[in-house]
Amino acid sequence: MSAVAFDPRVPDLRAPAQVVSWLATGEPEGPMPEAEALAEAGAVRDGALHPALEAIREITGAPLFRLTLERGNRIGHGWFAAGRVVLAHPVDDGLARLTSFSAAFLLDALARLNDVGPRPRVEPAVRIGLEPGALARALAERSPLPAGIADPDAAAAFAGLIGGLREHWCVTVAWDPADGALGGRRLEVIDTNGGYWLVIPDDPTVELWPTTPTRVYRALCDLFPTSAEVRTWQTT
């Protein structure tokens, strides 16, 4: 079976991660990886990329904004330009997926990739403050002990969070900012069987705020820049 599967109608390509990276960004430089498999799948014709993949490269080469998708230890990337989005992200068995679609579907795609759906309301609704390093260790070890939370209510809530941990994910959107504008936004979420938590920076610590699926979905909406925030939009 070929290591590459390609549907030009979407377009949608599944291939080893290094192939997807090369197709999306032109890197690493050098010979085309899996050239025979790409040709067999129809992604390459007479040594040239299929037009759908060339269109993807046009978007990734000059995007208005970029996305970084972190889900556990898996990292994906996205690019937006000319009303279309390109996403490249890991899938099963060491493969990655490269696809492009209308920007109208970006929010739904992010919600599906991060399994945003019904969850219980966190009870009691306690806010938890702790050091970023302690949070990272607790999530990695799936143990509340590294957090060292003194407040008993917050400690109990955090123990419940760790005990019901489903996933820890982040979406970051970055762009070339117009004068006086921010250069990006980030949403960090902890998904548990008992509900959602937002990770809110509060230098030098972070706070965990209980939230709802509706608010998570709205927070995804709020990540994207307006035309006034992106320098490139102001010059086109």
- Which residues does the chain have with pLDDT short of 50? 1
The pLDDT tens digits of the residues spanning 215-230 come to: 999 999 999 999 999 9
Angle at 162 between CA 161 and CA 165, to 5 degrees: 80
Instruction: Give me the half-sphere count of Cα atoms (radius 13 Å) on the Cβ side of residue 94.
Output: 4
Predicted local confidence at residue 235, as pLDDT: 57
d(CA 74, CA 87): 14
d(CA 66, CA 60): 9
The pLDDT tens digits of the residues spanning 189-203 come to: 999 999 999 999 988
For residue 124, give the amino acid letter. P
Q: Any idea which residue has 């998904």 for tokens?
A: 191
Predicted local confidence at residue 1, as pLDDT: 46
Q: In Å, what is the CA distance from 61 to each residue of 9, 15, 27?
A: 21, 20, 11
Predicted local confidence at residue 133, as pLDDT: 94
Predicted local confidence at residue 97, as pLDDT: 97
pTM: 0.92
Q: How many Cβ atoms from other residues are within 10 Å of residue 125's Cβ?
A: 11
d(CA 100, CA 59): 9
